[in-house]
Structure 1
Amino acid sequence: MSSWTPLPDANCCRVIRAAVAAPVILGTGGQQADLLRRLAIFFGRDSAIGRWLMEMFWRW
């Protein structure tokens, strides 16, 4: 049985896009990766968005 996870609202999407696309604002890649990890924990690592964020985190 699969669980359904609602998509984040527009404001959350903007935050995620900013975190992924703005290393100049966030400083180093390590700071960017840390933000992605924190967002994944906030959304829940078992949610679809949380899994995607953790995947992005491990790429840094």
Structure 2
Amino acid sequence: MKGYLVSFAVGALAGLLYNVLQVKSPAPPTIALVGLLGMLAGENVIGVVRACVAHLAG
């Protein structure tokens, strides 16, 4: 979890720096990032469902 927080903090710092310098971010548009989030959720949903079923069954 610590890695995620550090990654987020560094990304936010880079975003602030880009804003201060008035440079356009090379990051993909927000809609693409939302699509990536959906892909990650789709990859993990089977594991979550299996864990829930195992918890309820046992």
Which structure has the highest helix share of the two?
2
**Greater Cα radius of gyration, structure 1 or 2:** 2
What TM-score bracket applies, with the shorter chain setting the length? 0.3 to 0.5
